[in-house]
Amino acid sequence: MTTLKKTRPIIALLLSLITPGLGHVYAGKLKRGIAFFLVVELLTVSVHIFSAFRFKFYGLVWYFAAWTCLLGFSVFVLFDALFGINKLRVTVLKPYHKWYFYIVICAVTVLINEFVFEAVLPDIKAFKSYNMSSVSMEPCLYVGDRLIADMKIYKQVKPKRGDLIIFEFPKDPSKEFIKRVMGVEGEKIAIINNKIYVNDKIIDDPWGYIENSGEKNYLKELENFGPAVVPEHSFFVLGDNRYNSMDSRLFGFIELSKIRGKILYVYWAKDKSRIGMEIR
């Protein structure tokens, strides 16, 4: 004997919010519901996979593409269940229309999402967005550049010369500065007429930029520095725009514990040709 049951759109909506596809199961569309459920979970896993590639610009693009697909498809599933129920009004009761069947599906969803969330969370915390707000790193970085930084890299390795790092401003820990590492622990650093010497030998400095306009040269007196030995677990940092940078010449060496991350690439800039540019 066929038993019909009146369907309620609000129940389909709530079930779909709890687990995409469950509202379709409630409407008697088991295969459609399972298909939607599997697609949503596949997209959720894809978000996790692409989050691990955000250390490259193309990885960030695919990461946001996966998120867009996940959110868009989830909304589609929601409305498909809602409008389907509005048209259906009643459904034939099936063996799977049992309260424990819904609980099992919800439990499976929770377990999958918890696993994915636990896997994704460390990756999310490993990256952070920054906005360049000063001219101190020109011409590498410009005011308004939006940057992605790896916030976990220095838990595994130490900064090296040439790295663009984010660190706590020694005089105000609430502020973060972006500068380039030019000297590492144990090295003897000296600057003579804007030439950098490490252990009494001049080094190649492809990053240093000297502003000659006269108007902004308020740090010109810092053409010379040192010599000074970088303490243990500390680093000597400079801005690329040497006459327009507050750096180790003024506030001293930066302790490793104060370094928060490393700039990886530009993900947005006024000059669109610079979008995706890796920082070297």
- Cis amide prior to 227 (ω within 30 degrees): yes
Tokens of 68: 């867009």
Say what the pLDDT of residue 226 is: 78
Name the catalytic one among 179, 234, 245, 258. 179
DSSP 3-state of 165? strand
In whole angstroms, give the CA distance from residue 254 to residue 133. Answer: 20
Read off the pLDDT band of 167 (50, 70, 90): very high
- At 36 the three-state DSSP class reads helix
| β-strand partners of 196 | 191
Confidence of residue 123 (pLDDT cuts 50, 70, 90): low
Taking residues 2-30, report their average pLDDT. 70
Q: Which residue has the higher pLDDT, 153 or 21?
A: 153
Inter-residue contact 159 to 259 (CB < 8 Å): yes
Q: Is 136 assigned a catalytic role?
A: yes
pTM: 0.67
Lowest mean pLDDT of 39-43, 140-144, 204-208, 233-237, name the range. Answer: 39-43
User: Looking at the predicted structure, is the pLDDT value of residue 236 above 80?
Assistant: yes
pLDDT of residue 235: 96
How do residues 68-109 score in pLDDT, each as one tens digit?
888 888 888 877 777 766 655 656 556 656 666 667 777 777
Residue 213 predicted with pLDDT over 60: no
What are the E-state strand segments in 62-203? 90-92, 127-131, 146-150, 164-169, 172-183, 188-192, 195-198, 201-202
Averaged pLDDT of the chain: 79
pLDDT exceeding 90 applies to what percent of the chain?
23
Instruction: Give the residue-averaged pLDDT of 122-146.
Output: 83
Q: Degrees (nearest 5) of the Cα angle 98, 99, 100? A: 95
Q: How far apart are CA 198 and CA 96, in angstroms?
A: 74
Nearest by Cα to 235 from 202, 190, 186: 186
Fill in the DSSP letter of residue 97. -
Query: Which one, of 236, 249, 132, 119, lies nearest residue 180 by Cα?
Result: 236
Element (H, E) at 217: none
CA of 272: how far to CAs of 139, 149, 215, 276, in Å? 15, 19, 28, 9
Residues 220, 41: Cα–Cα separation, whole Å: 58
The span from the CA of 280 to the CA of 274, in Å, is 13
| Per-residue pLDDT tens digits for 182-202 | 999 999 999 988 889 999 999
Domain boundary assignment for the chain: 4-125, 128-274
Catalytic residue among 16, 136, 234, 245: 136
Q: Does residue 220 have a pLDDT over 70?
A: no
Cβ-based burial of 132 (10 A; exposed 0-12, middle 13-18, buried ≥19): buried
Answer yes or no: is pLDDT of 1 > 50.
Answer: no
Is 158 labeled as catalytic in the residue annotation?
Answer: no
SS3 185: coil
Phi, psi of 81 (to 5 degrees): -65, -40
Identify the CATH number of the domain defined by range 128-274. 2.10.109.10
CA 37 to chain centre: 28
- The phi, psi pair for 199, rounded to 5°, reads 55, 45
Q: Are 57 and 278 in contact (CB under 8 A)?
A: yes
